[in-house]
């Protein structure tokens, strides 16, 4: 079993980063590995509950809900949350931890690898 | 938990994104955590434009200061020599805080690192 840390920086709808990170995280979880995702910069929009788009089967928040159910830990950078007016993650889905860079430093301590998506 | 050797890569230019400021903030955070990781920042590719002397640093100077002088284990700021040459940037255009190192040396640092974070 490997411990994988993922630093996600990109906004959920900016490019393919969100979906690639989710796919890698899900594949790792399905194989029994541990995954912690640290949301930094624009990626802190990803877990907002109030996402709607009728033609999409799986919105960014749905992807994160699925990962959390499979055991992933997801931490959002608190300063990134606050500077974007996200009110300490009040609009987030259940299970998202709003923390800080100290948490990312801790993730680095605990994991075997970090994968970054900008 | 033991401190780890962490390399943070910057390969985006300073203008057009938040990568430079936010990458430096993350680098400071990595060094300031309980485990006080040993952090090396490496600029390469278009990231070398971040090290120019005349760059406006008012948004990030405190991160540089903390990174280099105020952490328990001070960080290192490196810029790749080959990337500078490819962009015709002379050594005297590089800010004093950054050390110019050859690609081979960066490869060695990467090979000895525990964790790679990149790229901002």
A23 to chain B, closest Cα gap in Å: 19
In the beta sheet, which residues pair with residue A8?
A39, A117
The contacts of residue A112 (CB under 8 Å, 6+ apart) are A2, A3, A4
* Number of domains composing chain A: 1
Contacts of B1 in chain A (CB under 8 A): 106, 109-110
Domain ranges, residue A11: 3-117
For residue A7, give the nearest of A93, A75, A88, A82 by alpha carbon: A75
DSSP string, A17-77: HHHHHHHHHHHHHHTT-EEEEEE-GGGGGTTBTT---TT-SS-HHHHHHHHHHTT-EEEEE
Query: Are A109 and B22 inside 8 Å of each other by CB?
Result: no
- ipTM, 2 decimals? 0.89
Report the pLDDT averaged over residues B60-82.
92
Alpha carbon distances (Å) from A99 to A30, A87, B58, B94: 26, 13, 26, 35
* Domains of chain B, CATH where assigned: 5-117 (3.40.1260.10)
pTM of the model: 0.94
Closest residue on chain A to B8 (Cα): A116
Contacts of A6 in chain B (CB under 8 A): none
Alpha carbon distances (Å) from B86 to A78, B25, B56: 39, 28, 23
CATH of the domain at A57: 3.40.1260.10
Whether residue A101 lies within 8 A of chain B, CB to CB, comes out as yes
Q: What is residue A15's three-state secondary structure?
A: coil
Q: What is the number of other CB atoms lying within 10 angstroms of the CB of residue A3?
A: 14
Is the model's pLDDT at B30 over the cut of 90? yes
State pLDDT tens for residues A11-48. 999 899 999 999 999 999 999 999 999 999 999 999 99
């Amino acid at each position: 079993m490997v411990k994988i840390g993922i630093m996600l920086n990109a906004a959920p709808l900016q490019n393919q980063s969100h979906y690639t990170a989710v796919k890698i995280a899900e594949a790792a979880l399905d194989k029994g590995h541990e995954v912690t995702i640290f949301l930094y910069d624009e990626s802190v929009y990803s877990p907002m509950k109030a996402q709607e788009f009728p033609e999409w089967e799986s919105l960014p928040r749905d992807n994160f809900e699925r990962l959390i159910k499979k055991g992933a830990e997801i931490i959002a950078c608190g300063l990134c949350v606050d500077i974007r007016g996200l009110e300490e993650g009040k609009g987030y889905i259940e299970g998202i931890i709003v923390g800080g860079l100290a948490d990312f430093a801790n993730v680095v301590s605990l994991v075997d690898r970090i994968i970054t998506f900008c | 938990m033991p401190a780890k050797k962490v390399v943070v890569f910057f390969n985006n230019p300073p203008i057009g994104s938040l990568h430079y400021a936010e990458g430096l903030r993350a680098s400071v955070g990595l060094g300031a955590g309980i485990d006080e990781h040993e952090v090396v920042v490496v600029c390469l590719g278009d990231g070398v434009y971040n090290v120019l002397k005349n760059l406006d640093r008012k948004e990030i100077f405190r991160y540089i200061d903390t990174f280099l002088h105020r952490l328990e284990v001070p960080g290192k700021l490196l810029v790749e020599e080959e990337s500078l040459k490819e962009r015709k940037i002379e050594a005297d255009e590089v800010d004093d805080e950054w050390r110019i190192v050859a690609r081979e040396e960066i490869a060695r640092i990467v090979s000895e690192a525990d964790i790679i974070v990149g790229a901002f």
